[in-house]
Each structure stands twice: as C-alpha cells, then as structure tokens.
Amino acid sequence: MWGMAFTFFLFMAAWARRGELPEAFQHPAAEASILRFILRTLLLLFGLAPLLWGVDDNVRITRYAHSAWRLQDGVINGEPLAITQTTDGYMWVGTANGLLRFAGVRFVPWVSSDGQQFSKSVYSLLPGTNGSLWIGTGSGLAALRDGALKNYPTTSGRVNSIIRDRQGVVWFARSRVRDESGPICSVMADTVKCYGKSDGIPFPYAGALAEDSFGNLWFGSPTVAIRWKPDSFSTFKLMIPKSNEGLEGVSAIAPATDGSVWVGMARQGHQLGLQRLWKDKWTSFRIARFDGESLSVSALYLDKQNALWVGTQNQGIYRIQGDDVDHFSAVDGLSSDGINAFFEDHEGNMWITTSSGVDSLHDLKVVSLSAREGLGGNRPGPLLIAREGTVWIGNHGAFDHVHRPDSGSSGDSLNRLQLRVTQFGPGGFGRLLRNRAMIPKLHNQELYILIMRQP
C-alpha cells in the first residue's frame, strides 16, 4: 500500500512540477481537487493529518509552519495586494500587474480562453458562487465566471474593497471617481447602483468596507467613519488632530461579534493607529506593553476564532486575542513588514499578502519551545515529565517549569495547549523550594535538583 501510494504521488507530482496534469485532470476544478486529494491521502497515510489544520490562536505565531513566496524569487509578477479563495478551492492573488491563481504547486497568471492575460492592477477580490470571482481593479469592477471575464463599464474608479452582505448583495467601495455618483455601490443581477451625498455619504471616495452583525455597512474617510444603510446612517468623527486632517484616515475596519468595531488608521500617533468604537464612543487600545496608537495600520482581519489580526505598514503583524498580543515580523521570516491583506482559507490556514510576497501560516503536530516562548535560555539540558503532565527543564542559567493552563484547554496535542513557562533563574531556587507544592513527586520520592557552579 505504501509503495503504491508513494508511486502515485511521485507520478502526479512530476506532472504538477512540469506545470500540467493528465488530460482527465486538466479542468481547473479537477486539477485543484486531485492535488488536494493527493496531499491529504499522503498525509493521512504517514500520520501527518494535523498538518492540514488551520491556525490555533492559542499558539504563538512563531510556532506555526510558515511558507513564503517572495517577489525576489520571481514566482510572483508584482506586489500582491489582495487574496481570496474561490469555492473550487483555488487561491487567487491580485497583484499590481495582474491576477494569479494558486493550486497548491505554484502561482500561475490567469489567461483567458483566447490567450489574453489579465494585466490590470487588482486591489480587491471576493469569491462568488460556483467558483466565480469578483475583481476590483484600478479602473472598475470585473467578474470572472466559467473562464470568461465580464467588465462593468459603469463602475469607474479604483475598487478598494468588495464584500457580500447577509442577503447576498455584492457591495464595493471605490475612490478616484470622476463623477458625483458616490463611493459605495451595490450589484444585483448585474445592475449597479451607487450611493452618494443624497444618501447620507458626505465624501466622494471610500477605502475599507465591512458589514456588522446587524446588517450595517461600515466605511470611512480621512475624518469620519460611517455606519450606513440605504435608509439610515450615523457618522462618527475621528479624533484626528488638525495637523493630520486631509491626510489618509481609515485604512481598515473589522466589526466584532460583541458589537464593537475595530478601526485602523494609516497614521500612528495620539488618537490614531488602532482604535475601537464601543457603544458609539472611540477608545484607544492599550494593554500591558502594547499601544495601538503606535501602529500604522494597513489591514484588519477577524479569524474564525475571533482573534484580531492587525497588519501594519512597516511593523509586521500583530494578533490580538483577549489580553494576549502576539507579534510576527520580517525578523521572524515574514516576507515583508508592510502588510496588504489577510485571508483565512477553507482549512483555517492564514494567508498574508505583503509588499514583497505572499505568506502562509498553519499549525504543526510538533511544536518547539525557545526563549521567545518564555524559556530561560536556548540551551536546555535535563528534562522531566511529571505524572500530571508538567515538564521540568534544566536550562543554561535557569530552571523552567512548563505546564498546562488551569482551564480552557482540550486535546492531547502540544500545539493545542497554551503552554505557560515559569523560570527559576539564579537566586530563584529558594522560592521554588519554599513552594514545595510545585515540585513533582516521582513514586512518592522528592525531586532533587543538583546545581553545579563554576569555581
């Protein structure tokens, strides 16, 4: 069985590496499906199915499996600006120079049936039904259906965001509009309707666009954020200093499940950066050593576990979950510290487009701990696992105590645990010995620690 599976895998991988598949699998949906089937089958056979899991927000970002496709490697034809996944499983990336499709092997420029490539800049993407794709370009809206591209000539301007509301209506926000038709438009049955000043929208352009749990649309300008429906609206003036008025304002919006709205602004400073609108009042987000006003926010994304991913212009990624804030940047391997967009795929993997490439994050079955996760050093020695699951680690200049949290954990895999590390450095062993309840028993015997010092 192993030999047959491995041979089949090598056969299909060889075709994929050459950029083509046998005739039976040349249909796009079939190609994507067979590649996913091969990967899943091989992983299941070798007991590696957990590699297909998405990202667990209880795990530090540095402990995820990380893949990156960089511009400098020549695998992407321009700066990646947008990313999404269609219902047939394909990942799509919009770049400054066109549209790319990713089926698990490589990025391929989309080409029409008559051999024409899509050469416009793509700023936003939205999956449609039956594998279709909505495309926001620098000159209007387009849709890709069954391999055919349809342009909407009445949607001039740059389409910055596209969403689908709870009723299935497609909405988009645009800028650089030359007429007075308005910055927010809807599409129903291929009919486009735009909304402007007469509908309560006081500015001619919009960037970020989102829908909250009550069916309201949210968007913003350099000075205000708007909660809007075709028959009602409310404006919330941003607390922007006069020195910043007229400059770029709202860059990202993410309505939360608790009724609050996260708003990111492209500039950092007092009452800027990452803000939260709660009960119609603005609040800055500060916690421990993290200050949201210090960020230049470029993207916001709430994942399936309600963790907030914050993309910045030059500071990498922050992930906020409750009182915990995690950070991941180019120093950790991210393709760039300039973030353009996030997307969580069907399997829970997190994708990021940056100014220099595309990154993907997912969980691993086996995780590693280092000083970054709280160990006292990166030279661990003796290790002991107590009966209740606590791990004791002799480290260079420290004694580490790694244990499960008191509550909120489930599962047996280390990557499903929010591990806590207690360090006992020089001078700290007296505290350890005084708290004897922390020391594990080995068959009713005490744990003895031998500390050797250099003369």
- For residue 419, pLDDT beyond 60: no
Distance CA 51, CA 5 (A): 18
- How far apart are alpha carbons 321 and 418 in whole angstroms? 12
In this prediction, residue 50 carries a pLDDT of 37
Q: What is the per-residue pLDDT for 309?
A: 98
pLDDT digits (tens, 9 = 90+) for 304-342: 999 999 999 999 999 999 889 999 999 999 999 999 999
Q: Of 255, 262, 275, which is closest to residue 213 (Cα–Cα)?
A: 255
Q: What is the DSSP string of 86-106?
A: -TTS-EEEEETTEEEEESSS-
Q: What is the pLDDT of residues 107-125, one digit of tens each?
A: 999 988 777 788 899 999 9
Residue 148 amino acid letter: A
What's CA 21's distance to the chain center, in Å? 31
Least confident of 39-53, 177-191, 360-374: 39-53
Greater confidence (375 vs 297) lies with: 297
Which of the listed ranges 33-42, 203-212, 441-450 does the model predict with the highest average pLDDT? 203-212
pLDDT at 183 over 90: yes
Given a cut of 90, is residue 412 above it in pLDDT?
A: no
Q: In the predicted model, is pLDDT for residue 212 greater than 90? A: yes
Residues 23 and 168 in one domain: no
Considering 309, 333, 362, which residue would you say is the last residue of a domain? Answer: 362
Residues 67-74, mean pLDDT to the nearest whole number: 94
Residues 358-405 have pLDDT tens digits of 999 998 766 667 776 667 777 776 677 776 667 777 776 676 767 655
Tokens 């540095």 label which residue?
A: 62
> Which of 327, 362, 397 represents a domain boundary (last residue)?
362
Q: Domain with 337 in it: what CATH number?
A: 2.130.10.10
Take residue 415 and report the two structure tokens written for it: 């990557």
Dig out the tokens for 224 from the structure: 């205000």
Q: Are residues 121 and 245 in the same domain?
A: yes
Span 141-165, average pLDDT: 92
For residues 16 and 108, state if they share a domain: no
Average pLDDT of the residues of the chain: 79
- Residue 451 in domain: no
Q: Are residues 344 and 403 in the same domain?
A: no
343 with 401, same domain: the answer is no
**How high is the pLDDT of residue 242?**
63
pLDDT of residue 448: 47
- Are 173 and 207 in contact, with CB atoms under 8 Å apart? yes
Predicted confidence at residue 93, as pLDDT, reads 98
* Claim to verify: residue 44 and residue 168 sit in the same structural domain: no
Residue 169 in this model has a pLDDT that exceeds 70: yes
Answer yes or no: is 168 within a domain.
Answer: yes
Let me know if residue 452 belongs to a domain. Answer: no
Interatomic CA distance for residues 266 and 244, integer angstroms: 11
Residues 115 and 258 in one domain: yes
Residue 53, token pair as written in the block: 């899991």
When pLDDT is cut at 50, 70 and 90, the band that residue 160 belongs to is very high
Residue 232 class from Cβ within 10 Å (0-12 exposed, 13-18 middle, 19+ buried)?
exposed
The secondary structure of 15-44 as a DSSP string is HHHTT---GGG-SHHHHHHHHHHHHHHHHH
The answer to whether the CB of 237 falls within 8 A of the CB of 224 is yes
State pTM to two decimals. Answer: 0.73
Q: Are residues 123 and 222 in the same domain?
A: yes
Is the confidence at residue 157, as pLDDT, over 90?
yes
* Residue that is written with structure tokens 């260079």 in the block: 396
Domain membership flag for residue 69 = yes
Does some domain include residue 167? yes
Number of domains present in the structure of the chain: 3
- Chain segment 218-251, per-residue pLDDT in tens: 998 878 899 999 889 999 988 766 655 555 789 9
14, 120: one domain: no
Top-ranked range on mean pLDDT: pick from 104-118, 140-154, 382-396, 437-451: 140-154
20, two tokens: 């083509």
Cβ pair 298, 252 in contact under 8 A = yes
Is the domain of 124 the same as that of 258? Answer: yes
For residue 38, the enclosing domain spans 2-50
CA distance 370 to 398: 13
| Structural domain includes residue 446 | no
Closest of 265, 250, 170 to residue 211, by C-alpha: 170
- 431 falls in which pLDDT band (50, 70, 90)? very low
Measured N-to-C along each axis, helices 2-17 and 28-45 cross at an angle, to the nearest 10 degrees, of 140
Residue 194 and residue 156 share a domain:
yes
pLDDT at 194 over 90: yes
Q: Give the confidence band of 26 by pLDDT, cuts at 50, 70, 90.
A: very low
> In this structure, is residue 453 part of a structural domain?
no
In this prediction, residue 373 carries a pLDDT of 64
Indicate whether 33 and 95 sit together in one domain: no
Our measurement of the distance from residue 73's CA atom to the centroid of its chain's CA atoms, rounded to an integer in Å, reads 22
Instruction: Single out the residue of 271, 257, 263 nearest to residue 297, CA to CA.
Output: 263
The verdict on residue 272 lying in a domain is yes
Burial 121-137 (b: 16+ CB within 10 A, else e): bbbbbbbbeebbbbbbb
